[in-house]
Amino acid sequence: MQLTELTAVQLLDGYRKGEFSPVEATEQALLRARRIQPEVNAFARLTEEDALARARESAERWRRGEPAGLLDGVPVTVKDLLLLRGHPTLRGSKTIAEQGRWEEDAPSVARLREHGAVFLGKTTTPEYGWKGVTDSPLTGVTRNPYDPSRTAGGSSGGSAAAVALGAGPLSLGTDGGGSIRIPAAFCGIFGLKPTYGRVPLYPASAFGTLSHVGPMTRDAADAALLLDVIGVPDPRDWSALPEPPGSFTAALDGGVRGLRVAYSPTLGGQVAVRPGVASAVRRAVAGLADLGAYVEEADPDFSDPVDAFHTLWFSGAARLTQDFSPNRRRLLDPGLREICAQGARLGALDYLAAVDVRADLGRRMGRFHERYDLLVTPTLPVTAFEAGREVPAGSGLRRWTGWTPFTYPFNMTQQPAATVPVGVDDDGLPVGLQVVAARHRDDLVLRASHALYEADLTLSGS
């Protein structure tokens, strides 16, 4: 049996029935990780000895009928922006020294540890997670599972590639402008950016309250299970939300019948979407209508907030590197060094003007969700392009935000947003559909996404 093809829910069911053990699942996941690494480069480091030790401990707990928690024995990976106790967190950068004791887990990692998860390793990221593709001076280029000449997307590209190829069914990603949803869409998996604060973050991101932590998984049911584990408060994050009102897993089966869904194929003509993307998304939206949702083509009332996003993003990058010496700064990715310089030229009034744009955008989306339960869009207007580039060749674009207009607005508004794989284009590359709900309605995003999986309207069912 290929345990690497199973979801976390399926693995746990097998452990419960005694059909296989966490040791077998971990051994197969590590073997898969080693096999894919030379071509895809999903891992910054594997933590094999620790993984096998934790798997053996888990197997003994299952033998006694005393699992430690909701994810006991499930292989997981962690993006190398999040602290994992006992192992360096280098953030894709040569500016961070590997030496040190590394004694602390990030809040989400700590919750996984408490629930018995098995850590396979740290996944690749662009330097400090600054862009929407995954390549860095430290770890090189991460490639797409469907076509290694293409990018996996970013900044959680290693996590997306690992999950897509069976190196653990669950991964923790981060998303400051689309960094969970972009690579999940490019790699054909599910990715959820929860409501800001639903998953605590520590240390705080240099990009402030744009940055979210969330699940990257094989399907929506696994994401709900993972969010049940990590979506609880932690005292180290002053902006963390209180306990959720109930289980996200328990809320999955409500379906979409009766939900009011706004379908915006181009954000009111603001985005040029490739035909192969548009047709795959349109088919999935028709499927939502067939499942009983009230679907109407409608656009949210906002213009592209990219300038304000750049002000917030570039300022965060400048703050991150403001104390770097000239020698240390020379080690940075040239693109990151460039936006740091731009951010350093911005003043407090520029920043506060961007905050005003953000507040207005949030107000507009709040009013929009008085009329609609969900907004659905393409996750991206394009599919995966050439690896090692920040923008598609010949596009004329300068920065990654030029091809991600559907994702970063919802970091500014802090809304929950997920990407669901809904097919492939003519080149066989995955297409994602984005599902967005009002703040704190992560349950609706997961419900609608789960309904697409249950109805075989996703990539795996295409």
Following DSSP, what letter does each residue of 138-202 receive, concatenated?
TTEE-B-SS-TTBB--SSSHHHHHHHHTTS-SEEEEEESSSTTHHHHHHHT-EEEEPSTTSS--S
b/e burial code for range 223-262 (CB count within 10 A of at least 16 → b): bbbbbbbbbbbbeebeebbeebeeebbebbebbbeebebb
Task: Output the CA torsion sign for 45, 49, 53, 58.
Answer: positive
HSE, CB side, 13 Å, CA atoms: give it for residue 15. 34
As a whole number of angstroms, the distance between CA 449 and CA 221 comes to: 9
What average pLDDT does the structure give for the chain? 97
**How does pLDDT run across 148-198, given as a tens digit for each residue?**
999 999 999 999 999 999 999 999 999 999 999 999 999 999 999 999 999
Residue of 21, 79, 122, 449 with catalytic role: 79
What's 3-306+345-461's CATH class? alpha beta
As a whole number of angstroms, the distance between CA 41 and CA 140 comes to: 8
Does residue 5 register a pLDDT over 90?
yes
The count of residues in the chain is 462
CA 194 to chain centre: 9
Tokens of 342: 């731009």
As a whole number of angstroms, the distance between CA 156 and CA 184 comes to: 8
Q: Do residues 49 and 261 lie in contact, with contact meaning Cβ atoms separated by under 8 Å? A: no
pLDDT band at 461 (very low <50, low <70, confident <90, very high): very low
Q: Is 155 a catalytic residue?
A: yes
Residue of 179, 211, 315, 449 with catalytic role: 179
CA proximity to 62, closest of 107, 25, 29: 25
Q: Do residues 450 and 255 lie in contact, with contact meaning Cβ atoms separated by under 8 Å? A: no
The Cα-based distances of 33 to 38, 65, 319 in angstroms read: 9, 29, 35
pTM of the model: 0.98
Residue of 155, 156, 205, 211 with catalytic role: 155
**How does pLDDT run across 89-128, given as a tens digit for each residue?**
999 999 999 998 899 999 999 999 999 999 999 999 999 9
Tokens of 153: 């997307």
Angle, CA 224 vertex, CA 57 and CA 5 arms, to 5°:
60
Give the mean model confidence (pLDDT) for residues 189-213.
97
CA proximity to 102, closest of 47, 64, 151: 47
Q: Is 79 a catalytic residue?
A: yes
Q: Do residues 134 and 152 lie in contact, with contact meaning Cβ atoms separated by under 8 Å? A: yes
Does residue 301 register a pLDDT over 80?
yes
Q: Is 136 a catalytic residue?
A: no
Tokens of 418: 């997920």
Does residue 58 register a pLDDT over 90?
yes
Residue 329 class from Cβ within 10 Å (0-12 exposed, 13-18 middle, 19+ buried)?
A: middle
Tokens of 66: 């005393």
Q: Any residues with CB less than 8 A from the CB of 277 and at least 6 apart, and which?
A: 378, 380, 381, 382, 383, 425, 431
CA proximity to 422, closest of 151, 266, 162, 190: 190
pLDDT band at 460 (very low <50, low <70, confident <90, very high): low
pLDDT band at 459 (very low <50, low <70, confident <90, very high): confident
Q: Any residues with CB less than 8 A from the CB of 191 and at least 6 apart, and which?
A: 156, 160, 173, 175, 180, 181, 183, 184, 185, 214, 215, 216, 217, 223, 418, 419
Q: Is 216 helix (H, G, I), strand (E, B) or coil?
A: strand
As a whole number of angstroms, the distance between CA 390 and CA 134 comes to: 9
The Cα-based distances of 107 to 19, 86, 89, 113, 286 in angstroms read: 32, 15, 14, 10, 39
* Residue 215 confidence (pLDDT): 98
Q: Is 41 left (phi over 0), alpha (psi -120 to 50) or beta?
A: left
Give the mean model confidence (pLDDT) for residues 294-314.
98
HSE, CB side, 13 Å, CA atoms: give it for residue 216. 39
